[in-house]
Amino acid sequence: MDTQNIKQISDVVVRFSGDSGDGMQLVGTLFSDAAAVEGNGISTFPDFPSEIRAPQGTVAGVSGFQVHLGAAKMTTPGDGCDTLVAMNPAALKANYKALKPDSTIILDADTLTEKEFRKAGFSTDDPIAELGLTEYNIISPAITSLTREALSDLGLDIKSATKCKNMFALGLCFYLYNKPLEHTFDYIERKFAKKNPAIAQANVRALKAGYNFGANTHAFANTYNIKAAVLEPGTYRMINGNQATAWGFIAASQKSGHPLFCGSYPITPATVILEELAKRRDLGVVTVQAEDEIAGICTSIGAAFAGSFAVTTTSGPGLSLKSEAMGLAVMTELPLVVVDVQRGGPSTGLPTKTEQSDLLQALFGRNGEAPMVVIAASTPSDCFHYAFWAGKIALERMTPVILLTDGFIANGSEPWHIPQMSDYPVIKPPVVKNIEGDYFCYDRDPEAYARTWAIPGTPDLEHRIGGLEKDRRKGSVSHDPHNHHTMTELRAEKVARVADMIPRQGVVGAPEGDLLVVGWGGTRGHLQGAVDRMRAEGKRVSHCHFNWIDPLPRGVEEIFSKFRQIVVCELNMGQFAGYLRMNFPQFDYKQYNKVQGLPFTVDELVSHFNTLI
Q: Find the binding residues for another protein in span 399-428 (CB under 8 A).
A: 418-421
Region binding another protein by CB under 8 A among candidate stretches 55-63, 292-300, 529-537, 570-578: 292-300
Q: Which is nearer to another protein, 43 or 332 (CB)?
A: 332
Smaller CB separation from another protein, 25 or 308: 308
Q: How far is the CB of 318 from another protein (least distance, A)?
A: 14
CA dihedral of 576, 581, 583, 585, whole degrees rounded to 10: 160
User: How far apart, in Å, do the first and last CA atoms of the chain sit?
Assistant: 50
435 binds another protein (CB under 8 A): no
Residue of the chain from 55, 346, 456, 511 that contacts another protein (CB under 8 A): 456
Q: Does 129 bind another protein (CB under 8 A)?
A: no
**How far apart are CB 451 and another protein at their closest, in Å?**
15
Q: Do 95 and 65 form a contact (C-beta atoms < 8 A)? A: no
Does 32 engage in binding with another protein (CB under 8 A)?
no
Q: Which stretch binds another protein (CB under 8 A): 47-55, 124-132, 290-298, 561-569?
A: 290-298
Contact criterion met (CB below 8 Å) for 154 and 161: yes
Three-class DSSP labels, 474-543: CCCECCCHHHHHHHHHHHHHHHHHHHHHCCCCCCECCCCEEEEEEEEHHHHHHHHHHHHHHHHCCCCEEE
Three-class DSSP category at 265: coil
Contacts of another protein in 293-312 (CB under 8 A): 294-295, 298-308, 310
- Residues 205-216, buried b or exposed e (16+ Cβ, 10 A)? bbbbbbbbbbbe
- Across the chain, which distance is largest between two alpha carbons, in Å? 86
Q: Quick one: which H or E segment has residue 287?
A: strand 286-289
**Buried-state track 350-382, b at ≥16 Cβ within 10 A, e below 16:** bbbbbbbbbbebbbebbeeebbbbbbbbbbbbb
Our CB check for another protein shows the closer of 102 and 438 to be 438
Which helix (H) or strand (E) covers residue 144, if one does? helix 143-150
- 86 neighbors 16 (Cβ within 8 angstroms): no
Name which of 36 and 81 has its Cβ closer to another protein.
Answer: 36
460 binds another protein (CB under 8 A): yes
Q: Which of 11, 130, 275, 324 binds another protein (CB under 8 A)?
A: 324
Rounded Cα distance, 451 and 431, in Å: 9
In the complex, the smallest distance separating the C-beta of residue 135 from another protein, rounded to whole angstroms, is: 39
Site for another protein in 326-365 (CB under 8 A): 327-328, 332
Measured distance CA(87)–CA(575) in Å, rounded: 39
Select the residue interacting with another protein from 160, 320, 458, 488 (CB under 8 A): 458
- When asked if residue 466 is in the footprint of another protein (CB under 8 A), the reply is yes
Type of residue at 8: Q
Residue number, 31 or 96, with CB nearest to another protein: 31
Q: Which residue in the set 52, 198, 477, 573 belongs to the binding site for another protein (CB under 8 A)?
A: 477
The verdict on 437 binding another protein (CB under 8 A) reads no
What CA–CA distance (Å, rounded) separates 283 from 261? 11
- For the CB of residue 587, give the shortest distance to another protein in the complex, in Å: 40
Q: Of 197 and 284, which CB lies nearer to another protein in the complex structure?
A: 284
Amino acid identity, position 402: I
Parallel/antiparallel/unpaired status of strands 41-47 and 62-70: antiparallel
Of 365-384, binders to another protein (CB under 8 A) are none
- As measured in angstroms, the least distance from the Cβ of 233 to another protein is 5
Contacts of another protein in 141-180 (CB under 8 A): none
| Residues of span 225-284 touching another protein by CB under 8 A | 230-238, 247, 250-251, 254, 259, 261, 263, 280-284
Phi, psi of 425, deg, nearest 5: -75, 160
